[in-house]
């Protein structure tokens, strides 16, 4: 594959994001209302999506662009002691739902990232979040996978290529941070 070919696939994905404008407007309203009510955002995913969850939580807590008060967010992918203890004692499939059960409260927003929409632990985490009274949001790829029918809102990046989906997740996540900066700046 050439560099130009990769850029073209990236460009096609980005152009497809324009159709998601109503969904991302709803996303920002949901997160704004939750934060304004004293709630928090919980991010989680696997592999590259785990890194994206950490990246977005850091943008909330530290800052994105403007100097502003920290926004309440946590990535459930950062505590290696919890992750390894839970994986050893229970199951990797219940890693996030156990943390959600411990940390979430009604009105929080849980954002699960899964490029396929079929990651078992993300599915279970969002199901537990819903049981805990959270608003559930999935960031997925083109078809949404199982998360399409589980999450309250599903942002389906218009690509089936993992790298392009992850790039789309960060574009949407950065836009969310930028929109929050406008309100809290």
> What's the domain count of the chain?
1
Q: Does 15 fall in a domain?
A: no
| Edge-first strand listing for the sheet containing 109-113 | 73-75, 41-45, 109-113, 135-140, 153-156
Q: Which domain holds residue 37?
A: 33-184
CA distance 162 to 117: 11
Give the residue from 148, 146, 150, 142 showing the smallest Cα distance to 169: 142
pTM, entire model = 0.96
CATH of the domain at 73: 3.40.50.10490
pLDDT tens for each residue of the chain, 185 residues long? 799 999 999 999 999 999 999 999 999 999 999 999 999 999 999 999 999 999 999 999 998 888 889 999 999 999 999 999 999 999 999 999 999 999 999 999 999 999 999 999 999 999 999 999 999 999 999 999 999 999 999 999 999 999 999 999 999 999 999 999 887 65
Instruction: Quote the DSSP letter at residue 105.
Output: -
């Amino acid at each position: 594959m050439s560099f130009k070919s990769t850029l073209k696939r990236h460009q096609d994905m980005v152009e497809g994001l324009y159709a998601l404008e109503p969904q991302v407007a709803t996303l920002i309203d949901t997160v704004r209302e939750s934060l304004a009510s004293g709630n928090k955002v919980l991010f989680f995913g696997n592999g590259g999506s785990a890194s994206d969850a950490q990246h977005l939580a850091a943008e909330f807590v530290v800052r994105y662009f403007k100097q502003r008060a920290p926004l309440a967010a946590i990535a459930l992918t950062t505590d290696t002691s919890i992750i390894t203890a839970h994986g050893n004692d229970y199951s990797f499939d219940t890693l996030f739902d156990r943390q959600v059960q411990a940390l979430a409260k009604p009105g929080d927003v849980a954002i699960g990232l899964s490029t396929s929409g079929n990651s078992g632990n993300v599915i279970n985490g969002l199901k537990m979040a819903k049981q805990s009274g959270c608003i559930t949001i999935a960031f997925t790829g083109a078809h949404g996978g199982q998360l399409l029918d589980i999450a309250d809102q599903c942002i389906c990046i218009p690509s089936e290529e993992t790298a392009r989906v992850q790039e789309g997740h960060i574009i949407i996540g950065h836009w969310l941070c930028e929109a929050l900066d406008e309100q809290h700046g």
